[in-house]
Structure 1
Amino acid sequence: MDDAHSHVSREVLELCLVIRQIGKSQEDGRAAVEFGRLFEHYVTISNKVVGVLLRARRQGLVHFEGEMLWQGRDDHVLIMLL
């Protein structure tokens, strides 16, 4: 169980690092990236980017509008680090 939790935590932290690296700094200083760009970049790392985003949101690490994100439809939704 601890190994699974540790793996999930690593994935969430890696996602936040990617957002920080490829995102743009907002007026409040927080990094943000559009979902389409994140998906294109992150899909080379993992095909479960949406699931990791949802976990990161539940942990209070990122914010985005909507319940679920879909490639194509939601490419311009802004993902913001908190």
Structure 2
Amino acid sequence: MNVAHEIDLLVQEIQRLGSKNDLGQTTVKFGVLFSDDRCANIFEALVGTLRAAKRKKIISFEGELLLQGVHDQVDVVLLQE
């Protein structure tokens, strides 16, 4: 799969699993994304896709790298719907 396609799929999954915050942006906890069965089947390297989407300013999250367990409560915010 190419990166652009994976980022498009990521946006769809954030919209499916997330909810709107006070600013009207869709947000989801990293732990929710990581533990979702459908996401596990779609993304071979979820963390890599998240980093690529962050570099393209499609999403934002605190820090450079998200790790399961440690960062489960970190919000992944969708910047472009």
Task: Give the TM-score of the pair, scaled to structure 1.
Answer: 0.88
Q: What's the TM-score, normalizing by structure 2?
A: 0.89
Q: RMSD over aligned Cα, in angstroms?
A: 1.1
- Structure 1 runs of 4+ with >3 Å offset: none
Identity of aligned residues (%): 36
- Structure 2 residue runs of 5 or longer lacking an equivalent are none
- Pairing of 1:47-62 with structure 2 (within 5 A): 47-62=44-59
Q: Structure 1: any 5+ residue segments left out of the alignment?
A: none
1:67 to partner: Cα distance: 1.0
**C-alpha distance in 2 between matches for 1:10 and 1:73:** 28
What is the alpha-carbon distance in structure 1 between the residues aligned to residue 28 and residue 9 of structure 2? Answer: 15
